[in-house]
Structure 1
Amino acid sequence: MADLQDELDTIAEAVGDLDPAPAPPSRSEDTTAEAGTDALDRARAFLAGHPVAVGYSGVPWALRHLPRYDVEFGEGAGDADVPRLRQGYVGALFWSLHLPGEPTGDRAVLATFDLLDLVRTAVRAHREGLRLADDAAQITDLRNRSRVSVVIGPAGACALGDSLGVLRILRALGLRLLTLSGTSWAGGDGLTRFGEEVVREMDRLGVLPDLSGASAATVHRTLKLSKAPAVFTRSGARAVRTHPANLPDDVLAEVGRAQGLCLVPLAAEQTGPTVRDVADHLDHVRALTGPECVGLSGAYDSGAAHASDLADASCYPRLIAELLVRGWTEADLSLLTWSNVQRVLRTADFTARSAQQRRGASMAKITDLDG
Structure 2
Amino acid sequence: MVLAAPPLADAAHDQALALLDRVPLIDGHNDLPYVVRLDRTAKGDLATYDLGKVHPETDTDIPRMRAGKLAAQFFAAYVPPNHPKPAGFALAQIALMRRIWEHHTDVFRPGLSADDVEAAKKEGRIALFMTIENGSALDNELETLDAYWDLGVRLMTLCHNDTHDWCDSATDAPRHDGLSAFGKQVIGRMNRLGMIVDLAHVAPKVMHDVLDISEAPVVWSHSNAFSLCNHPRNVPDDVLDRVAANNGVVMATFVPDFINQASRDWNRPARDQYGKAREGLDFKKAEAEITRSSGPRPRATLAQYCDHLDYLAKRIGHDHLGIGSDFFGGLTPDGLEDASTFPALIAEMIRRGWSEENLAKLASGNMLRVMRSVASAAAR
TM-score by length of 2: 0.81
Contact 1:235 1:245 in 2 (8 A): yes
Distance of 1:101 and 1:223 partners within structure 2: 24
Residue correspondences, number: 319
Distance of 1:110 and 1:297 partners within structure 2: 26
- 3-state SS of the aligned residue for 1:340? helix
Contact 1:211 1:233 in 2 (8 A): yes
**In the alignment, is residue 305 of structure 1 matched against residue 331 of structure 2?**
yes
Provide, for residues 281-323 of structure 1, a one-character-per-residue CA deviation record: whole Å limited to 9, x for no partner: 00011111111111000111x2431112110010111111110
**In the alignment, is residue 92 of structure 1 matched against residue 80 of structure 2?**
no
Question: How far apart are residue 254 of structure 1 and its match?
Answer: 1.1
- Aligned partner (choices 74, 87, 101) of residue 54 of structure 2: 74
- Aligned partner (choices 166, 171, 177) of residue 149 of structure 2: 171
- 3-state SS of the aligned residue for 2:54? coil
Which runs of 5 or more residues in structure 1 are unaligned?
1-32, 355-371
Q: 1:155 to 1:140 in 2, by over 3 A?
A: same
Aligned to 2:375: 349
Q: Show structure 1 runs of 4+ deviating over 3 A.
A: 33-36, 75-78
Question: How far apart are residue 183 of structure 1 and its match?
Answer: 2.2
Question: How far apart are residue 121 of structure 1 and its match?
Answer: 1.1
Question: How far apart are residue 35 of structure 1 and its match?
Answer: 8.2
Aligned to 2:108: 130
Question: How far apart are residue 74 of structure 1 and its match?
Answer: 2.4
Contact 1:260 1:293 in 2 (8 A): yes
Structure with the larger helix share:
1
Which runs of 5 or more residues in structure 2 are unaligned?
1-5, 43-48, 169-173, 261-299
Q: 1:102 to 1:123 in 2, by over 3 A?
A: farther
Question: How far apart are residue 201 of structure 1 and its match?
Answer: 0.6
Question: How far apart are residue 86 of structure 1 and its match?
Answer: 1.1
Provide the identity percentage: 30
Q: 1:63 to 1:35 in 2, by over 3 A?
A: closer
Q: Give the letter for the 1:194 counterpart.
A: F
Contact 1:229 1:260 in 2 (8 A): yes
Q: 1:203 to 1:35 in 2, by over 3 A?
A: closer
**In the alignment, is residue 275 of structure 1 matched against residue 248 of structure 2?**
no
Instruction: Give 1:140-289 correspondences, 5 Å limit.
Output: 140-181=118-159, 182-187=163-168, 188=174, 189-272=177-260, 273-289=300-316
- 3-state SS of the aligned residue for 1:164? coil
- Aligned partner (choices 48, 51, 54) of residue 21 of structure 2: 48
Provide, for residues 229-273 of structure 1, a one-character-per-residue CA deviation record: whole Å limited to 9, x for no partner: 111111101111121111111211111221111010112221131
Q: CA RMSD in A?
A: 1.8
